[in-house]
């Protein structure tokens, strides 16, 4: 991580920097104001030397939220085009200070302008996850020397073609080296090279970055963040490159983790890697809520164990419903039964109570949580269940359903004792999450044995 200082090429999302420039609103290019933009893990802010000629700023004490703009355009003193996206008022005292959600250096654009044809994206611990030998020591004709063999070109590890939103998604690993008088350094660098099917907006590219990070988080066994995002602007053969900065949802750069300690490294997945990445994006519309619920338990550390548990149960139930459906009978066959049940609701209960009872009967033909859990566990091999369940399968289902019902309906007469045992509840959550990951990977065509072995072998170290 670089120290706080002026912006320099190669800065990443976990670095801190500032630079000066002139700034203006898209519809007022004549009203340009000098100012300094600051980027750090604390956020993005623009401190202006003056104010924009707008009614919102003529009041010396504007309220928070008094000003919002999709973007503010700028040009650094070095001549680089800059854009601050989704801008909002922060404060006005001796200077006007505006906040932003994204910073683009090298281009002018709005949040939803579809002008991005590709991206180069780096992530935390990606080199360890995708480890392949790149730097080799070789013997020399001179016995007093040795030779380092360093590849000039990056090596392609896998490619996904024609899978929305990608025309081509490729993982590359190369070596970044430098030599100065008396000093030499070389370091492996991994990155995804994305070529999109069509031109995308910054907002959509951010979603792509997040989903790649979500999948890597599952495979690496800890929350994974983008460290650098370069955008290819436009569709010309050699498009200009811009840097996208968005503040990571982390207080500091995550700790390093060695590839052998990761549940499912590139080496472990082997020939299933490309199909998994393709399937992850193909199923995003169907399983997006499941991805988000699962990953919330990895990115939001420190949340209460009960919240952690409810997120997992919601994810498991949603996964089964979206992936497999699950009904006791067809909706058409259930309709006469529903009408009979609704007709049996006595009058005089009050409008809200009557509506609640009738709403409960609306989806009575769909599987209960207990049935969904039985179906999911039935789909797994006995050795997989032995690895992740503590004790009998029926007892496991009874326990998690009882906990979910208590946390949802809060009936103190039916409080499970495990909620008073932090260690047991913590371990139950870890096993539930590992079980969901195996089910999710299996659905995405990763062999169950491979997924269970990878996740299970690292259960004490990962997640």
Quick check: bond before 165 cis, omega within 30? yes
Which residues touch 223 (CB under 8 Å, ≥6 apart)?
217, 250, 254, 295, 298, 299, 301
User: In 3D, which of 305, 258, 304, 225 has the Cα closest to residue 458?
Assistant: 258
Region 54-78 average pLDDT: 80
Instruction: DSSP letter for 327, please.
Output: B
- Weakest mean pLDDT among 135-144, 384-393, 441-450: 135-144
Q: How confident is the model at residue 461 (pLDDT cuts 50, 70, 90)?
A: very low
Q: How confident is the model at residue 62 (pLDDT cuts 50, 70, 90)?
A: low
Q: How confident is the model at residue 4 (pLDDT cuts 50, 70, 90)?
A: low
pLDDT at 65: 64
Cα 253–254–257 angle (5° rounding)? 135
- Weakest mean pLDDT among 174-188, 274-288, 306-320, 362-376: 174-188
Place of tokens 């081509």: 168
Average pLDDT, the chain: 89
pLDDT at 200 over 50: yes
pLDDT at 187: 76
Cα–Cα distances in Å, from 65 out to 55, 61, 89, 91, 279? 14, 12, 6, 10, 41
pLDDT digits (tens, 9 = 90+) for 92-127: 777 888 999 999 999 999 999 999 999 999 999 999
pLDDT digits (tens, 9 = 90+) for 424-441: 999 999 999 999 999 999
Which residues touch 337 (CB under 8 Å, ≥6 apart)?
364, 365
Percent of the chain with pLDDT over 70: 94
Cα–Cα distances in Å, from 158 out to 7, 273, 280, 440, 451? 33, 7, 15, 21, 19
pLDDT digits (tens, 9 = 90+) for 137-178: 776 677 677 777 777 778 899 999 999 999 999 999 987 767
> Which helix H or strand E contains 308, and what residues bound it?
helix 305-324
pLDDT at 235 over 90: no
DSSP output for 161-177:
EEETTEEEEEEEEEEEE
pLDDT at 1: 42
In angstroms, rounded to a whole number, what is the distance separating the alpha carbons of residues 372 and 219?
A: 25
And the tokens for 64?
């928070």
More confident residue, 26 or 148: 26
pLDDT at 346: 84
pLDDT at 183 over 80: no
Task: Give pTM, 2 decimals.
Answer: 0.88
Determine contact, residues 24/31, Cβ cutoff 8 Å: yes
pLDDT at 42: 93
pLDDT at 350: 82
pLDDT at 189: 86
CB atoms within 10 A of CB 318: 18
More confident residue, 220 or 54: 220
């Amino acid at each position: 991580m670089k120290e706080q200082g002026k912006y320099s090429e190669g800065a990443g999302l976990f670095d801190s920097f500032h630079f000066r420039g002139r700034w203006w609103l898209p519809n007022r290019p004549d009203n340009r104001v000098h100012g300094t933009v600051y980027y750090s893990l604390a956020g993005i802010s623009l401190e202006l030397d003056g104010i924009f000629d707008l009614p919102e700023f003529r009041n010396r004490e504007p309220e928070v939220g008094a000003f919002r703009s999709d973007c503010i355009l700028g040009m650094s003193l070095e001549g680089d085009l800059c854009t601050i996206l989704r801008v909002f008022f922060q404060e006005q005292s001796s200077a006007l200070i505006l906040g932003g959600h994204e910073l683009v250096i090298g281009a002018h654009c709005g949040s939803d302008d579809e002008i991005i044809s590709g991206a180069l994206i780096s992530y935390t611990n990606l080199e360890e996850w995708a480890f392949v030998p790149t730097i080799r020591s070789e013997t020399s004709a001179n016995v007093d020397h040795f030779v380092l063999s360093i590849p000039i070109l990056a090596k392609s590890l896998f490619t996904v073609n024609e899978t929305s939103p990608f025309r081509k998604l490729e993982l590359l690993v190369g070596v970044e080296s430098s030599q100065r008088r008396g000093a030499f350094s070389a370091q492996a660098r991994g990155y995804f090279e994305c070529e999109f099917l069509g031109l995308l907006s910054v907002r959509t590219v951010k979603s792509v970055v997040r989903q790649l990070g979500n999948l890597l988080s599952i495979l690496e066994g800890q929350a994974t963040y983008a460290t650098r995002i370069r955008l290819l602007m436009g569709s010309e053969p050699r498009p200009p490159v811009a840097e996208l900065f968005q503040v990571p949802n982390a207080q500091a750069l995550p700790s390093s983790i060695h590839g052998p300690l990761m549940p499912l490294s590139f080496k472990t997945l082997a020939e299933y890697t490309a199909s998994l990445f393709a399937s992850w994006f193909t199923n995003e519309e169907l399983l997006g809520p499941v991805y988000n619920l699962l990953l919330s338990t990895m990115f939001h550390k420190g949340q209460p164990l009960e919240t952690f548990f409810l997120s997992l149960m919601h994810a498991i139930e949603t996964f089964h419903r979206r992936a497999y459906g699950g009904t006791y009978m067809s909706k058409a066959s259930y309709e006469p039964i529903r009408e009979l049940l609704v007709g049996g609701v006595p009058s005089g209960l009050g409008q809200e109570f009557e509506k609640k009872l009738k709403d409960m009967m609306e989806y009575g033909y769909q599987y209960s949580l207990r049935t969904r859990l039985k179906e999911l566990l039935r789909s797994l091999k006995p050795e997989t269940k032995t690895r992740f369940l503590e004790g009998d399968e029926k007892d496991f289902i009874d326990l998690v359903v009882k906990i979910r019902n208590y946390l949802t309906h809060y009936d103190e007469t039916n409080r499970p004792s495990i909620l008073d045992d932090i260690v047991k509840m913590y371990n139950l959550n870890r096993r539930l999450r590992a079980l969901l990951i195996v089910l999710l990977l299996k659905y995405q065509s990763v062999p169950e044995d491979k997924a269970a072995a990878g996740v299970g072998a690292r259960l004490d170290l990962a997640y």
